[in-house]
Structure 1
Amino acid sequence: MKSKDLRNVVLCKHQPGDHPRKFFRDLNGSLSLDTIERWVEMINETGSIHLSKSPGSPRTASSKTTIRKVKQRLIRKKRVSVRKLARELNISATSAHRILTDDLGCYAYKFVKEPAITDQQKVNRKKFATWIQRTFRKEDTRKILFSDEKYFDVDGVYNSQNDQIWAINRTEADK
């Protein structure tokens, strides 16, 4: 239950002469007894419950300026690492992730790499397949082993899991 709903419950249940402990028992500990007593005192003084500030700690990392900075960064560059973004803005990685997902409504989509096959390569592959079909008998083709090429990188291992694009939907990520 939200704080506003709880305030309305306490306001409706308050009758002159009722003790705050009765509300505490009725709410099954949803609110502390101190809070209920403070709210009842406000009702007795002003007739309503008006909090001077919103409950909970203030949002420091997820301020409007930080959200605007993250949004501008996404406009410039879609491929953003949450850790690097957090380091640049001097906030925690959790706060940066929360800004991207909750405040901006973005999701992390994996970058899809598709090999660009030219028309000439398609023609060559078709020629090779027909050559194999005409030149070799069926039992001879079973003895041929085809394998994919593997590229080894001296700089380190490429991890496709880290290659992500932050976007609102898949079509925007594909662009």
Structure 2
Amino acid sequence: MISDNGAITLSKPRGDGVYNSQNDRIWAANRAAADDHGGVKRKRKFPTKVMVWLGACSAGLTPLVILDKTSVNHEIYIKEVLPVALNFGNKMLGDQWTYQQEAATPHTHQLTQEWCARHFASFMPKDRRPANSPDLNPLDYCICNELVQAMDWGRVQTKLTLIEELKRSVKKIKPEIVLESCNNFSKRLCRVLENEGRYLR
């Protein structure tokens, strides 16, 4: 099972917190023409955000964990996330699975590593995990995109409606997409090695 967490922001214009438009270019004769085609991007300085955690494996997605009360440290991660991952993994995969987390500080903290060693039948310790690459995490290269595409951003007006829409939308991600993206992990790992560690294109 591979896990990831991150923030999804609520800001105007709608969807600004998920889609990164900073590298998009608009070809126009002048600034006014560019503005007519979306050239001006307004952004809130400190948009409302919701921290979420999601795990994926070939058997499906874990329940979505909403972590919106405080910033996530190792204590919150151990208390609220790891039991969800453990229960889901054991229920869906028995004892034949490995837990892989990203390199965020709460994940690499000594107490987190000790908890994982005590509870998971197998887990990828911080010194053995693959490079921190979006090419090696199905949640980064596929599933998060499916999630934001499934969301009805017209319903999202407040933090509460963002949370409700996230919960509704994660259920709409097709199991075959999750299976395919997880099955592609090994192929992508080989491609990264062939590419001498550079990003895949």
Same fold (TM over 0.5): no
More strand by share: 2
More helix by share: 1
Q: Who wins on radius of gyration, i.e. which is larger?
A: 1
Q: TM-score, normalised by structure 2?
A: 0.18
